[in-house]
Structure 1
Amino acid sequence: MPFARLATATTPTCHLGLGLAAVGRPGYINLGRDEDLGRDRGVEAMRARTHELLDAAYAQGVRYVDAARSYGRSEEFLADWLNARPGADDVVVGSKWGYTYTAGWSTDADRHEVKDHGLATYERQRAETDALLGGRLDLYQIHSVTQDSPALADKDLHARLADAAAGGLTVGFSTSGPAQADAVRAALAVTVGGEPLFRTVQSTYNVLETSAGAALAEAHEAGLTVIVKEGMANGRLAGPHAPDALKEVAAATGLGCDAVALAAVLRQPWAGVVLSGAATVAQLTSNLHAPAVDLDEDRLARLATLAEDPRAYWERRGQLPWH
C-alpha cells in the first residue's frame, strides 16, 4: 500500500493531502473562486498556479496529491511538476477514472464532465493517465461510485482492476451523493477470487455532511485507507461563507474557519488522509494549520449541530454554479 509511506511520516501535515480539482481546469463549483483565481484562467496560468501550490504543499510536509481525468489538465500539470522535481519521489500520487472532461477549457460549458463507469472508459482513461503519470501513479480510483453504479457489478471490469492491482497499482473508489454510505458498503462487498478488490475509499465528509461516517469507519476496520474530500464543503465552510457556530469556534481557537473545519475531520479515528482543495498558497497555508487546532469536546459538540440532512446538502451542492 503506498499509504504505508505516510504512516511512517512524522510531520504534522502527513495526514493532509492536496486535491487538484480547483486548479486543473478554469471552472469549478467552489464558492469565492472568482476572487481566488482572477481573470487569467489560461492553461499556462493554471499550470503555474498548480506548480506553486505543489511546491508550497511539499515544503510544508504534504505527501499525497489527488488528481482525476475529469479535472481538466490536472494530471498533466502534476506530471510536469514531478518530472521537474526528482527529489519528490516520496509523493503518493492518486488519480481517478470514470468521468471525462468535456468543457473545452471553458467556464460556461453546457456540460463540464460526463460519467461512464464502463470497461471501455476504464481502458481508454487508464492509457491516458499512464501516458502522463506512468510509473508515478500509486492509486487509481473509480470516480464517484453510487450504489447502483455498473462498476460494482461488472465482473470483466473487476478482473481488469484486479490485474492492475496484481501489477502493483492500488485500486480504490470515491463516492458522492446522499447515499454515500450505501455505496461504500456495496463496494466493500466486491471481491475477486475471494479477496476484497478495493483498498481505498474517498468520500465527502465535513461538519455539514456527516452521513457517511459510520460506513467509513467500517471501511477503515476492513483495512481500507479512507481519504476525505470536500472537507470545506466547496467553500461553504470558508470564512466569508461559514455558519456562525463555526465562526465562533474558530474565534475561540485563534485560527481560521477552514483550519477548524478540516481539524474536525482529522479528529475522526478512521480518517487516513484529508484533502485540502486550496486554490491559492494562502488558503493552503491556512488549511495546513488544521493539525494545530485545539478542539475540545465542547467545541466539537457545537460543530456537530451544523450537520444537515444529506439530501438537502447534496441538493444545495448540485445548485452551485461553475465559475
Structure 2
Amino acid sequence: MPFARLAIATTPTCHIGLGLAAVGRPGYINLGRDQDLGENRSVETLRTRTHELLDAAYFQGVRYFDVARSYGRSEEFLADWLNARPDIDDVVVGSKWGYTYTAGWSADAETHEVKDHTVRTYERQRTETAALLGDRLDLYQIHSVTPDSPALTDKELHAELAEEAARGTTIGFSTSGPAQADAIRAALAVTVDGEPLFRTVQSTYNALETSAGPALAEAHDAGLTVIVKEGMANGRLAAPHAPEALRAVAEETSLGCDAVALALVLRQPWAGVVLSGAATVNHLASNLHAAVVDLDEEQLTRLAALVEDPRAYWETRGQLPWH
C-alpha cells in the first residue's frame, strides 16, 4: 500500500504530514487565520503560498500531503506543485471526497461546503480528482464519516471503492463529531468479499479531544494506518489561545505551544501520520519541532487535565467563525 513508502523517509519529521485545508480556499475556521493570510486571498496569492509551504515541508522531510475536494482549489494547487517537480517521486498524496465546495471563493459565503456520501457524488468527485492529480493520487478517503453515514452501509458504493482499490488506490475514511469512535468501529466492520475495505482512518485527536483514542488503537491493531487531523484544535492550542497548562509546558521545553500540542499526538503508539495545518512557513517550521519534543510524566499529567467532554468540544468547534 502507498503508505509503506513513508518508510523511505528517514528524517524525524517523516511522520508529520501537511494538510492544505487552511490555504486551499479563502475562508476557514482556524483561529488566527485572518492574521496569517491577510486581506489578499486571490487564487494566485494562495497558490503561491501553498507552493511555498509544500517546498518548505518537503525540504524538511515531510512526505505526506493531504487535500480534499471541498478544500477549494487545494487539489489543483498540489497538482501544479507536483507537475513542476517531476523528480519528486517519494511523496504520498491523499485526498477526500464527500463534501462539495460551494463558497465560490468567498470567505463570507452562507454555505461553504455540502456533504453527500452517495455513489453519484463519489463518481463525480473521483473524476474531478483524477483530472487534477491523475496517477499521483495514492489515498482516497470518504470525508467525515459519522455513525449514521450511508457510506457505511451502501453496498454499491463499497463495490466501487473496492474496484478503485484493485486499481492500486488505497481507500480510507475520515471522521468528525463526538461519536468518532462509533464511526471508526463501524467502518472497521465494512468488508467486500470478506476483505476489509478501508486501509486508513483520519480522525480528530488532540489535547482537548481524545475520545477517539481507543478506537484508533483498535484500527491500528487491525492494520490500518492512522492519520490524525486537527492536532491543534483549529488554533485553540496555538498561542495566544492555548490553555495556561499548555503554555507552561511549552515554556519549559523552550518550544512553541504548537510543537508541544503536536508532540502529544505523535507520542501515541497508534499515530502513523500527524497533520500540520500550517498556513505560513514559519508556523510550519514551529510545528515540525514537535518531532523533537520530549515530555516527562509530570508534564503529561498536567496536559491530560485539558481534556474536554467530546460533545462540548464539538459544539465549540461548530461555533468557530469562517474567516
Deviations 1:144-193 (A, max 9, x none): 00011000000000000000001100000000000000000000000000
1:88 Cα deviation (Å)? Answer: 1.5
Shift in Å, 1:322: 0.2
Q: Residue in 2 aligned with 1:134?
A: 134
| Superimposed CA distance per residue, residues 118-151 of structure 1 (whole angstroms, 9 cap, x where no aligned partner) | 0000000000000000000000000000011000
1:229 corresponds to: 229
Distance 1:162 1:123 in 2: 13
Contact 2:8 2:90 in 1 (8 A): no
Alignment of 1:155-166 (within 5 A): 155-166=155-166
Question: Does the 8 Å contact 2:117/2:150 carry over to 1?
Answer: yes
One-letter identity of the residue aligned with 1:79:
A
Distance 1:64 1:87 in 2: 16
Matched, 1:114 2:101: no
> Which aligned segments of 4 or more residues in structure 1 are displaced greater than 4 angstroms?
none
Q: SS where residue 135 of structure 2 aligns?
A: helix
Structure 2 spans left out of the alignment, 5+ residues:
none
Q: Which amino acid aligns with 1:47?
A: R
User: How many angstroms does 1:94 deviate by?
Assistant: 0.1
Write out aligned runs for 1:174-253 (5 A): 174-253=174-253
What is the CA-CA distance between 1:297 and the residue it aligns to?
A: 1.1
TM-superposed CA distance for 1:7, in Å, is: 2.4
The Cα shift of 1:294 comes to: 1.2
Report Cα offsets for 1:198-228 as digits up to 9, x if no partner.
0000000000000000000000000000000
1:19 aligns with 2:19: yes
Cα root mean square deviation, aligned:
0.5
Query: Structure 1, residues 272-321: CA drift from partner, whole Å, max 9, x if none?
Result: 00000000000000000001111111111111000000000000000000
The 5 A counterparts of 1:298-309 are: 298-309=298-309
Matched residue SS, 1:140:
strand
CA distance in 2, matches of 1:196, 1:3: 17
- In the alignment, what sits opposite 1:148? 148
Please state if 1:52 is matched with 2:52. Answer: yes
Equivalent residue of 2:76, what SS?
Answer: helix
Alpha-carbon distance between aligned partners in 1 of 2:6 and 2:33, rounded to the nearest angstrom: 30
Q: Is 2:103 aligned against 1:103?
A: yes
| TM-score (structure 2 length as normaliser) | 1.00
* AA partner of residue 180 (structure 1): Q
1:249-281 per-residue CA deviation (whole Å, 9 max, x = no partner) reads: 000001000000000000000000000000000
Within the alignment, does 1:284 sit opposite 2:284 as a pair?
Answer: yes
Q: Matches of 1:259 and 1:120 in 2, distance apart? A: 41
- Cα pair 2:16 2:273 within 8 Å, conserved: yes
Instruction: Give the count of matched residue pairs.
Output: 323
Q: For residues 107 and 274 of structure 1, what CA distance do their matches in structure 2 show?
A: 27
Amino acid paired to 2:184? V
> What TM-score do you get using the length of structure 1 for normalisation?
1.00
Equivalent residue number for residue 75 of structure 1: 75
Opposite residue 175 of structure 1, the aligned amino acid is: T
Q: CA deviation at 1:87?
A: 1.9
Which residue in 2 is equivalent to 1:272? 272
SS of the counterpart of 1:45? Answer: helix
SS of 1:93's equivalent?
Answer: strand
Q: Please state whether the residue corresponding to 1:125 is helix, strand or coil.
A: helix
Q: Does the 8 Å contact 2:227/2:275 carry over to 1?
A: yes
Secondary structure of 2:294's partner? Answer: coil
Q: CA deviation at 1:8?
A: 3.8
Q: Contact (CA 8 Å) 2:16, 2:62: kept in 1 or not?
A: yes
Letter in 2 for 1:163: E
Q: Partner of 1:172: helix, strand, or coil?
A: strand
Q: 1: distance between equivalents of 2:146 and 2:320?
A: 21
Distance 2:250 2:85 in 1: 36
